[in-house]
Amino acid sequence: MEFLLQGLSLLMAPKVLLIICISSIYGLFVGAMPGLTATMAAALLIPFTFFMDPVPALVSIVTMSAMAIFAGDIPAALVRIPGTPSSAAYTQDSFELTKQGKAEMVLGVDVICSAIGGLMGAVVLMTSAPLLAEVAMQFSSFEYFWLAALGLSATVMVSRGSQVKGALAMVLGLFLSTIGVDITLGLPRFTFGSVELLNGVDFIPAMIGVFGISEVLRNVLEGEMSYPITRVRAGKIFSGMGGLLRRYKVNILRSGLLGTFIGILPGAGADIAAWLAYAVSKRSSKEPEKYGAGSIEAIVDSGTANNSCLAGDWVPALVFGIPGDSITAIVIGVLFMKGLRPGPMIFERQPEIVYAVYLAFILANLLMIPFGYLAIKASSQMLRVPKNILMPAILMFCIVGSYAINNSIFDIGTMLLMGVVGYFMEANGYPVAPIVLGLVLGPILEQNFMISMIKSEWDLTLFFIRPISAILGGLTIIVWFFPVLAAFLEKAKKRNSL
């Protein structure tokens, strides 16, 4: 209770409340702009968080991401383009209903279900994280090695498109993390005589490059998009909402829990939660034929799941230091930047910060209703902001943002290079989120492996003798062989059906 009150007082400081409001507006704007993602918004936010205290820094990311994931629903409903990939699953349904003159109902469901989903996720985060942290207290380097390996493997498994390409992106991130002074002998690796590279590839410019610059490059390639925008009567978005929520209360509960669970799984983010909730919803619906042709049930389910996933993503990030998705990978970078080491000890040493994060999730999701209402009201103006002005502005924020951390031109070069790499990889079907997860988890993976090997005098069996380590190791190996197993089962199934 004491920590809860401390967290509350940290959150209620006027400066923090102001940051919450600004982050909300920023998140709503970026989320509602087609082509800009919540991860890009988080990457651009880091240079600012660098100059903030830990609580406002973390709270700004919580608020921004919650608002951005909701706001992605607005262009999905109004112009049939998802604002962020998390709204892609139900874009078709949203737009079909808009064509039927039900845009207000769709946006009302979007904002309310996002808020309910977010609150459910926050409750699960508050209850499960401290319990898991107690278990994590018994972890040693063996368990942390497997956790990092499991997180990376899960990221590859759930990456959309080719899993081999996902794996290559992850290995690239891991390789980038090896640049700099090695932990065993202090040997400079792959620095080619550069003093700047001795500390390794700086996480922040790399992140801004992969998520910011690559977005700018892609957007300027596509040129200016123009689309007819449906006008919305914002005053009507909540009418009939009570009945709708009562009718779909089971869906909301199911998808809220499913989304949070997906979030807790390392590597799986809000977009996957939305797609899975959509599939589960269709399978259990009494009207599956409506899916794709304008199903409000699909929107209820997926819209709840993607926002509930956000809080779930923070569970492995806070408890184990293993990111749940690309946004929490950024969060882990921010925690390290602030001198805070994510892991079970943060619950012992800085519980007030953890409680402030819990409360920020609740506050952000409560604020989502009035802020969401205002965003819907301003939607037609927001969607008219020309990209040919927005993209140069984002470019300049990327340049100055990556320079600001170390006041170094070298960091702008890092950002430029990573932006080009990210752009080309994504253009050729390689997912870029695993690069960042590899970059964050690389040192954890290597350090814990080397520490384990040195203290066990190179006895590999110890990775499988400790009970929790054995379970985590077993799970990781199952994930590695899952694609092979799935292909084998598929073949067997086909053979049987012949």
Partner 1 sequence: MKKSDLIGGGIFIALGVFIILLTLGFPTLEKGHPGPALFPRILAVLFIAFGGVIFFRGGKGEKKGLEAETREEVLVPKNYFNPIFVLILMVAYIILSNWLGFYITSTLILFLLMIKLRVSYRRGLAVSILLTIFVNLMFAKLLRVPLPIGFLGW
- Under rule CB under 8 A, which residues in 263-282 are in contact with partner 1? 271
Nearer to partner 1, 254 or 387 (CB): 387
Residue 187 as a binder of partner 1 (CB under 8 A): the answer is yes
Nearer to partner 1, 171 or 245 (CB): 171
Q: Which residue from 241, 345, 367, 453 is in contact with partner 1, where contact means CB under 8 A?
A: 453
Binders of partner 1 in range 66-85 (CB under 8 A): 80-82, 85
Q: Which residue from 356, 446, 452, 472 is in contact with partner 1, where contact means CB under 8 A?
A: 446
Rounded-to-integer distance, Cα 362 and Cα 72, Å: 20
Residue 430 as a binder of partner 1 (CB under 8 A): the answer is yes
Residue 180 phi, psi (nearest 5): 115, -165
Rounded-to-integer distance, Cα 158 and Cα 266, Å: 10
Residue 142 as a binder of partner 1 (CB under 8 A): the answer is no
Nearer to partner 1, 367 or 417 (CB): 417
Residue 460 as a binder of partner 1 (CB under 8 A): the answer is no
Q: Which stretch binds partner 1 (CB under 8 A): 133-141, 175-183, 260-268, 317-325?
A: 175-183
Q: Which residue from 240, 392, 467, 474 is in contact with partner 1, where contact means CB under 8 A?
A: 392
Q: Which of 39, 26, 105 is nearest to 73 (CA)?
A: 105
Min separation Cβ 193 and partner 1, Å: 13
Residue 418 as a binder of partner 1 (CB under 8 A): the answer is no
442-475 core/surface letters (b: 16 or more CB in 10 A; e: else): bbbbbbbbebbbeeeeeeeebbbebebbeebbeb
Q: What is the DSSP string of 23-73?
A: HHHHHHHHHHSTT--HHHHHHHHHHHHTTS-HHHHHHHHHHHHHHHHHHTH
Min separation Cβ 122 and partner 1, Å: 27
Residue 91 as a binder of partner 1 (CB under 8 A): the answer is yes
CB atoms near residue 160 (< 10 Å)? 14
Rounded-to-integer distance, Cα 307 and Cα 117, Å: 5
Q: How many residues bind partner 1 (CB under 8 A)?
A: 74
Nearer to partner 1, 187 or 253 (CB): 187
First-last CA distance in the chain? 63
Nearer to partner 1, 386 or 467 (CB): 386
Take residue 190 and report the two structure tokens written for it: 């792959």
Residue 488 as a binder of partner 1 (CB under 8 A): the answer is no
Task: Please give the single-letter amino acid code of residue 271.
Answer: D
Nearer to partner 1, 168 or 477 (CB): 168
